[in-house]
Amino acid sequence: MSIKWKPMLTSMPYVLIVLLAKLLLHYLGQPGFLEFSDLGIVYTGGVFLLGFNLAGAMADYKESERIPGELAAIFETMEDSLKQAARLKPDLDLTRCRTLHAATLNAIIGWLYRKEAKPAVFEDVASAIEVAYALDKAGTPAIAGRYVSELHNIRKCITRMGVISRTGALASGFAFLQFLTATIITLLLLSKFRHPVSEAILVSFVSLIYIYMLRLIKDIDDPFEYNPDGKPRSCAEVELFPILEYQQRLHARIAAVVPTPKAPPSSGESPTGAHASSKDVSSDPHGDHAALASAANQANTTAAASSVATSSTHENHPQTPHASSGSDGGTHSRSPESSHSGHA
């Protein structure tokens, strides 16, 4: 059953009771003694009173429709302030601030779903001052002041929703409407009609109008009646999708924050075989020691090969004098032949 037809379908049993009572009186020989046309002024006055009470209930209802959108805008503006503070002060823990921010929003939604009492939701809103403390500590007092100011607007919205939900548009006017509805139904039972078909149609139609409108006004009077599972109790409840959609966006942004991965450990050797610098090695004390050992072995092999090549050159050219001198002016070494002749 579509929820928009629920008030109509739940009103039909009362209409059937009135119709059956009228048919029973007609069957018992009491078709009525009042002319239906003579009671037109009474029905007209009832319609005027219906419009008066409906206008008062709709005024609060239209205001209630704006509150979820205003709350969503306030919360998103507060989150923008957090992002601004994080840009100015990178040391601010933006994820923690967003988590506290989301906890306040979740508390308000839980209160609307009858999961939390009103005093508890005000305590949750008051605990959001921790975010302002974090902003002030990070060095952004102006943004912290704006955040506290928006908390004031949130309290105003919650208080207004509570007042609309707990009070009627005009209790005395609604009481008189109930009395007038009962009077009109009684007059319908005492009225006589020219034809049984017109009798059934007029009794059913007039009683349906008054019973349905009476129930509709009472339903509109509290536009925040939700079940704990989030489903509205009737079709006259204010839609909460602006708050719920922002809640999804906020949770998605919190979940999307991934810690920055650390740099991979240095391998100790470049792809061309060069050794890693001392800075790279010291920054990773648990580096790839096997790569460093391989590079050292390669260097030792190259040095050994160079030594063998040098000794081979000396054997092939024994008469060539080979002298080496230090850069600090040390003694020169002589060839073996010249040294032998000197001893002779």
Tokens 């002319």 belong to residue: 35
Alpha-carbon distance of 304 to 180, in angstroms, equals 116
Range of 169's domain?
3-255
Nearest Cα neighbor of 184 from 49, 51, 57, 26 is 49
Question: Against a cut of 0.85, is the pTM above it?
Answer: no
- Give a yes or no: residue 55 inside a domain: yes
Parallel, antiparallel or unpaired: strands 191-192 and 34-35 = parallel
Q: pLDDT grade, residue 2 (50/70/90)?
A: low
pLDDT for 328 equals 38
Alpha-carbon distance of 193 to 220, in angstroms, equals 35
- Give a yes or no: residue 330 inside a domain: no
Tally of domains within the chain: 1
**What does the pLDDT average to over 290-315?**
43
- Give a yes or no: residue 86 inside a domain: yes
- Give a yes or no: residue 278 inside a domain: no
- Give a yes or no: residue 76 inside a domain: yes
Q: Is 290 exposed, middle or buried (0-12, 13-18, 19+ CB in 10 A)?
A: exposed
pLDDT for 168 equals 72
**What does the pLDDT average to over 199-217?**
90
- Give a yes or no: residue 175 inside a domain: yes
For all residues of the chain together, what is the average pLDDT? 77
Residue 332 corresponds to which tokens in the numbers above?
């020169």
pLDDT at residue 264 greater than cutoff 70? no
- Give a yes or no: residue 334 inside a domain: no
Alpha-carbon distance of 76 to 94, in angstroms, equals 14
pLDDT for 31 equals 78
Coil, strand, or helix at residue 329? coil
pLDDT for 308 equals 37
- Give a yes or no: residue 239 inside a domain: yes
pLDDT for 305 equals 44
